[in-house]
Amino acid sequence: MEFEAWWLILFPLCFGLGWLAARVDIRHILSDSKLLPRQYFEGLNHLLNERTDKAVEVFVDLARNHSETIELQFALGHLFRKKGEIERAIRMHQKLLARPELKLHDKQSAQFELALDFMKAGLFDRAEELFGKLDDTEFARAARRHLLDIYQQEKEWKKAIETAQQLRDTSHTYQHEIAEFYCELATSSITRSQPDEARQLLQRALAEHRKCVRANLLLGELAANEGNYDAAIEAWLKIESQDHRFLPFAARKLLDAYDRLGKAEAGTVLLKGFLSTYPELDMLDVVVERIAASESEAAAHDWLREELRRNPNMTGLLKLLEAQAKAAPPERQAELDTMLRLTQESTRGLSMYHCASCGFKARQYFWRCPACNDWESFLPVRGRTRA
């Protein structure tokens, strides 16, 4: 590449322009900083050193003596809310809203912050009103997300569906949540003895999210309650193609339906087949109880031993030890009791369901985690900490 003489002029020129721009920026920053009150830097220093209470005292005094510091008052309101001083946060944001010279953007921002204060205080009706006024503003989407939280806490599932539909985009379709909202409505309809309405809502849930296991579980229960056991079995068997890990949730219901149809053996064979195909399924208890009831305790133990040889697991071992301890002669009772106790202690975690989002543990399965409020985040296999 040939050297061009004019580069000798270009390089110093670019350097000089950059130096000049930097000087102008630095002078501008220094000029602005001189206009800031000394208390501002004092409060900032407290914040940097994690002395929040001291910072709040300084900023309150600063805001009182310098009414033009709108950004500072917003920050102060946020600090109050973060510290749990909700009343002070509300008063701060209400005072901001009352200022007649407030620009439109700042007014909308104050409305949003005040709505957050009301939400934190549990005043959902007042928060909902303010969030609703922020449609067609840059705060609309964030307001709708908070409205969705409110509607879920208040169990206003119809409003939750409408809001989630407004929020859906390519990054988040909300299909899982909307399907669960329809299931919640259906559960309410079942409680009010309105099965037809419940069935329609569950079909909407499946139209929204075809892998909504909960919808088919409830459809099966509706059919079984009406004595239509063939339809109930059909609904529950669809769970295998949705997520086979949920099959244990329908295991006892399936056996009961087959019993009602006079096909008890077919039901037992079905569950044995599921365990053969999906060894991780949590339905050993159900199959062992069924074999013991329909054949004998000895037959159930023989089947369990064979199952353990094929698929060794702690749950099956615990079940076998329990059976052996029951039938043990007196001279072996103490030994087996000790083995059983140690095994129970080591497998205690296997009896818990885990939330994949936050790790919350519970003996009961929840469609919505009580800790993080995520839907369908509990793993359907006990003892699992991740999918």
- To the question of whether residue 183 is assigned a binding role by annotation, the answer is no
Residues in CB range of 298: below 8 A, 6 or more apart: none
Q: Report pLDDT for 329.
A: 67
Over 90: is that where the pLDDT of 71 sits? no
- The C-alpha atoms of residue 212 and residue 220 are separated, in whole angstroms, by 13
Pair of tokens at residue 186 = 């259906």
Nearest to 222 by CA among 186, 271, 185: 186
Q: Is the pLDDT of residue 61 over 60?
A: no
Q: Across the chain, what does the average pLDDT equal? A: 81
Are 131 and 115 spatial neighbours (Cβ–Cβ below 8 Å)? yes
d(CA 45, CA 39): 10
Which carries the bigger pLDDT value, residue 215 or residue 92? 215
288 pLDDT higher than 80: yes
Neighbours of 381 (CB within 10 A): 17
pLDDT the model gives residue 17: 46
Q: Over the stretch 316-353, which tens digit does the pLDDT of each residue have? A: 666 666 666 666 667 667 766 676 676 666 666 567 88
pTM here is 0.77
pLDDT over 50 (residue 34): no
Mean per-residue pLDDT, 223-229: 97
pLDDT > 50? residue 2: no
- Taking 90 as the threshold, does the pLDDT of residue 253 lie above it? yes
With 70 as the cut, is the pLDDT of residue 23 above it?
A: no
Q: How far apart are alpha carbons 55 and 96 in whole angstroms?
A: 20
Residue 266 has pLDDT above 90, yes or no: yes
If you write DSSP's letter for every residue of 328-345 in order, what string do you get?
--HHHHHHHHHHHHHHHH
What is the distance, to the nearest Å, from the Cα of residue 128 to the centroid of all Cα atoms in its chain?
22
What's the mean pLDDT in 216-245?
Answer: 97
At residue 347, the pLDDT reads 61
Distance of CA 27 to the CA centre of its chain: 50
Rounded mean pLDDT, 82-88: 88
CATH code of domain 34-167: 1.25.40.10
- Could you tell me the pLDDT band of residue 54, with boundaries at 50, 70 and 90? low
H helix runs in the chain, sequence order: 7-35, 38-48, 52-65, 70-82, 86-97, 104-120, 124-132, 140-153, 157-167, 175-191, 195-208, 213-225, 229-237, 239-243, 248-260, 264-277, 284-294, 297-310, 314-327, 330-346
Query: Does the annotation flag 358 for ligand binding?
Result: yes
Model pLDDT, residue 28: 43
Decide if pLDDT at 62 tops 60.
no
What distance in Å separates the CA atoms of residue 363 and residue 384, rounded to the nearest whole number?
A: 12
Q: Is the model more confident about 61 or about 113?
A: 113
Could you give the CA distance from residue 356 to residue 380 in angstroms, rounded to a whole number? 10
- CA 181, CA 160: separation in Å to the nearest integer? 7
Residue 74 pLDDT > 50, yes or no?
yes
Confidence of residue 277 (pLDDT cuts 50, 70, 90): very high
Q: Do the beta carbons of residue 100 and residue 83 sit within 8 Å?
A: no
pLDDT range class, residue 15, cuts 50, 70, 90: very low
Per the model's pLDDT, the better-predicted residue between 114 and 345 turns out to be 114
Is the pLDDT at 99 greater than 90, yes or no? no
* Whether the predicted pLDDT of 109 surpasses 50: yes
What pLDDT, on a 0 to 100 scale, did the predictor assign at position 30?
A: 35
Gap between the Cα atoms of 64 and 61, Å rounded: 5
| Closest of 112, 52, 42, 108 to residue 83, by C-alpha | 52
The region of weakest confidence among 198-207, 212-221, 305-314, 339-348 is 339-348
Mean pLDDT calculated for residue range 261-290: 90
Q: Where are the domains of the chain?
A: 34-167, 352-387
Give me the residues paired with residue 355 across strands: 378
**HSE (side-chain half, CA atoms, 13 Å) at 181:** 23
- Would you say residue 315 has pLDDT above 60? yes
**Mean pLDDT calculated for residue range 353-369:** 91
Q: What are the residues whose beta carbons fall under 8 Å from the beta carbon of 263, sequence distance 6 or more?
A: none
Q: Is 373 left (phi over 0), alpha (psi -120 to 50) or beta?
A: left
Neighbours of 138 (CB within 10 A): 11
pLDDT score recorded for residue 372:
93
Judge whether 369 is annotated as a binding position.
yes
- pLDDT score recorded for residue 301: 79
Is residue 19 scored above 90 in pLDDT? no
